[in-house]
Amino acid sequence: MEDSSVKQFEIAGYDMPCVDLAVNVDVFPKPNGGTGVNALSWQGGGKVASGMTAAARLGAKCAILGAVGSDDYGRFCQKDFQRHGVDISNLLCREGKTTSLSIVISDRETAGRSIVYRHGSAQPPVPEELDEEILQSCQWFFISHVTGVAMSAVERAKASGAKILVDADSYSSELMEHIDLIDVFIGSEFCYDVLFHDQNYAENCRVLCEKGPSTVIFTFGPRGCAGFSQDCGGFRLPAHQVPVVDTTGAGDVFHGAYLAGAVRGLNSVESAKLATAAACIKCTRMGGRAGVPDWDTAQELLKTGRVDYTEIDRRAAFYAERLQV
């Protein structure tokens, strides 16, 4: 097995990135009605894609594999990864094809969000298009959906010594069939509710660990997270009390931040604490990326309960201007 100290990338992940147009309103309009927009923001989207940008902002060396179209949305995705320090050498650009767009509408009345989306025409990579050097030179590999190309990447990365993290935002039987390949399983409360029917979180996570993962964590929004790991046992962590503006991408940021902690040598509980802080800070600004903190900002929240928004607000203003192609 290759020594991880000479790995080219700490984290690599596979996704089909998209653009998110985040829109905030007071009340979601009823049919045939309308409402004014409080704020809007053009940001990059995608579960792994946003998780990777969070990991990179927190100091990890990251690479994204996948594909976008050659349209303005695709060019935006490419440049946004670069702005956050994510390597895009194997993010394919499909000439003449389009990139997916999601319109994410958050409303202040319910503090919820609704999404309408248009799938792009850019085709996913085939396994032969995945960069073997990246797959062989990452410490961690990150996926969110079980597809043929994703599992090909997982198997090849794992064979080269990488650990695998999965974003189990929703339950899928395909994912459970491959759980023996997963090292860290981080699921949403929606996935938890399918798998289990009680609140014995630590024990249920321990049972899931017996199927293969060394760590299992579930996130519960404002109720924090709970998990079990072989290094720390069972744990429960509360969320930080912050002024929530938009929860879009909170789970994505949690996953990326967890990985950023892991590559720094933090144990599972320490990584989950970092992830909780980063996700909570993200929720104070619109969209999945504007509010992502850097390492020092996340550490300040953990140590003092305060957040320095100087850099975050510059980024929020940048995204709010227009689609930055």
Give the pLDDT confidence score for residue 26 in this predicted structure.
Answer: 93
pTM: 0.94
pLDDT confidence band for 7 (50 / 70 / 90): low
Give the pLDDT confidence score for residue 298 in this predicted structure.
Answer: 98
Q: 103: burial class by Cβ within 10 Å (0-12, 13-18, 19+)?
A: middle
Residue ranges in the chain assigned as alpha helix (H): 47-57, 72-84, 132-136, 148-159, 173-177, 189-195, 201-209, 250-263, 268-282, 295-304, 310-321
Instruction: Please give the Cα distance from 158 to 149 (Å, whole number).
Output: 14
pLDDT of 121 higher than 60: yes
Task: Tell me the residue type at 263.
Answer: V
As a whole number, mean pLDDT of residues 218-244 equals 96
Digit-coded pLDDT (tens) for 148-200: 999 999 999 999 999 999 999 999 999 999 999 999 999 999 999 999 999 99
Half-sphere exposure of 76 (CA within 13 A, CB side): 22
Domains of the chain: 4-16+47-96+123-321 (3.40.1190.20)
242 neighbors 281 (Cβ within 8 angstroms) = yes
As a whole number, mean pLDDT of residues 104-110 equals 89
pLDDT of 237 higher than 50: yes
As a whole number, mean pLDDT of residues 219-234 equals 96
271 neighbors 256 (Cβ within 8 angstroms) = no
